[in-house]
Amino acid sequence: MDPVPIIGGTGALGFGLARRLARESVPVVIGSRDAGRAQEAAGRVGNGAEGLVNAEAAASGPIVVLCVPFRSQSETLTNLKNVLEPGQILVDATVPLAAAVSGRATRLLGVPQGSAAEQAREMAPEGVEVVSAFHTVSAPMLADLDHELDEDILIAGDSRDAKGRLAALVRQIPGLRPVDCGRLEVARHIEGITPLLISVNARNRTHAGVRLTGLEEPRW
Amino acid sequence: MDPVPIIGGTGALGFGLARRLARESVPVVIGSRDAGRAQEAAGRVGNGAEGLVNAEAAASGPIVVLCVPFRSQSETLTNLKNVLEPGQILVDATVPLAAAVSGRATRLLGVPQGSAAEQAREMAPEGVEVVSAFHTVSAPMLADLDHELDEDILIAGDSRDAKGRLAALVRQIPGLRPVDCGRLEVARHIEGITPLLISVNARNRTHAGVRLTGLEEPRW
């Protein structure tokens, strides 16, 4: 099985995702700006996880997951411009929370392109398909392997093939159900669910996720 | 029990809501611009439902549900300016879909106030509390009384008391669970889930709804 590079894999979401994938024997490569931090996180993930600087990590597998904070999304993609290659899939998991500019985490910034995912598409090299995912699953609940997941991963993107390949990866993690939500522009609505969940979490001291009802067998 | 006026109750969402409430013996008053259409819809709801023109309907109970299309929201609220009274709760269920201006139903219009709910707050008379709700429940599934509901009603608003009173009304309908999502400004994120679900529905030929996970006993 191809390794899965997770850019920003030392952060909460990336680390949680790495742990879940590694447990299912999916080889993961933690990317970080700092090789030492990447290796340290990879050590905590275990199961053969590797740690590399972002640029090396991003070249290590066909489906690259971008888990950096929105504040660093643009800079990170600039640095990966000469690394990412046509045919790779870039999975954008960033959320333009106002917290990126010291605002509230229950508020979303207006992104000129319409969403963080569409900013990623604008910046990704030609031939790299951008898919949006992982905005509603709680990072701590991913990292807590004792927690039994039972929720949906809402996926948006313009390439049916790229979405399908990501869905196959998502299905490796028990308890996560991929749902195709449509074109990449729909990502703005999905990104908005994160601040909504943060608001619900604050009120309920929980880590809420989303499950769509009326959807027994999502179409892929 | 106080009657529940449903402004725009001849439309799909209002009508479905009226049917569900009426089945639980909650008295409902269908409001429409046209008295004849209101009465006709009330007849189809049955269980003692009444039909009145919007202005008369809006005066008939303390919790007024606004179910008009976004295209008519502003006009309707202008017409209700001298009818709504301090202490009443206005439940805004409108969604600023681009379909209102012949665009796609998977796209949201930018509303100057931030959301349809905040536009409603700007237009509601002083002392009327605006609460946002009913954006993720399918109108046809509400109207189909044989369908067993099992989903959440996401509620946003600045008055804890008003939200609590609406939650009590929502709990009258079996299978609907009210969730306090925070302040009224969060409504923009909830309104965005409607076009997302419309996109999912088109792909899956279903009527999806939302259930938050990790939330066994939502706090009220």
Give per-residue pLDDT as tens, A42-71. 999 999 999 999 999 999 999 999 999 999
Put simply, the answer to whether B179 touches A200 (Cβ < 8 Å) is yes
Cβ contact B77:B117 at 8 Å: no
**B203 closest CB neighbour out of A180, A193, A214:** A180
B106 contacts in A (CB within 8 Å)? 182-183, 186
For the question of whether the overall pTM of this predicted structure is more than 0.90, the answer is yes
B213 contacts in A (CB within 8 Å)? 150-151, 208-211
**B209 closest CB neighbour out of A197, A203, A213:** A213
Put simply, the answer to whether B200 touches A212 (Cβ < 8 Å) is yes
Tell me what pLDDT residue A53 has. Answer: 98
Summarize the confidence of residues B124-151 as an average pLDDT.
98
Tell me what pLDDT residue B135 has. Answer: 98
Number of H helices, E strands in chain A: 9, 9
pLDDT over 70 for what percent of chain B? 100
Cβ contact A182:A133 at 8 Å: no
Summarize pLDDT for B172-190 with one digit per residue, the tens: 999 999 999 999 999 999 9
According to DSSP, the residues that pair with A152 across neighbouring strands are: A177
CA-wise closest residue to B79 among B100, B59, B49, B101: B59
Summarize the confidence of residues B36-56 as an average pLDDT.
98
Summarize pLDDT for A144-188 with one digit per residue, the tens: 999 999 999 999 999 999 999 999 999 999 999 999 999 999 999
According to DSSP, the residues that pair with A155 across neighbouring strands are: A180
Tell me what pLDDT residue A24 has. Answer: 98
Angle at the Cα of B13 from the Cα atoms of B9 and B18, rounded to 5 degrees: 55
3 state SS of A4: strand
Put simply, the answer to whether A192 touches B197 (Cβ < 8 Å) is no
Band of pLDDT at residue B204, cut at 50, 70 and 90: very high
CA-wise closest residue to A115 among B194, B100, B182, B189: B189
Q: How many CB atoms lie within 10 A of CB B44?
A: 15
Give the pair of three-digit tokens for residue A74. 């643009």
CA-wise closest residue to A32 among A13, A9, A12, A62: A9
Cα B94 to Cα B118: distance, rounded to the nearest angstrom: 11
Tell me what pLDDT residue A136 has. Answer: 98
Cα B46 to chain center, whole Å? 20
Summarize the confidence of residues B36-50 as an average pLDDT.
97
Cα B191 to Cα A183: distance, rounded to the nearest angstrom: 18
Summarize the confidence of residues B13-30 as an average pLDDT.
98
Tell me what pLDDT residue A192 has. Answer: 98
A214 contacts in B (CB within 8 Å)? 138, 141, 151, 206-209
pLDDT over 90 for what percent of chain A? 100
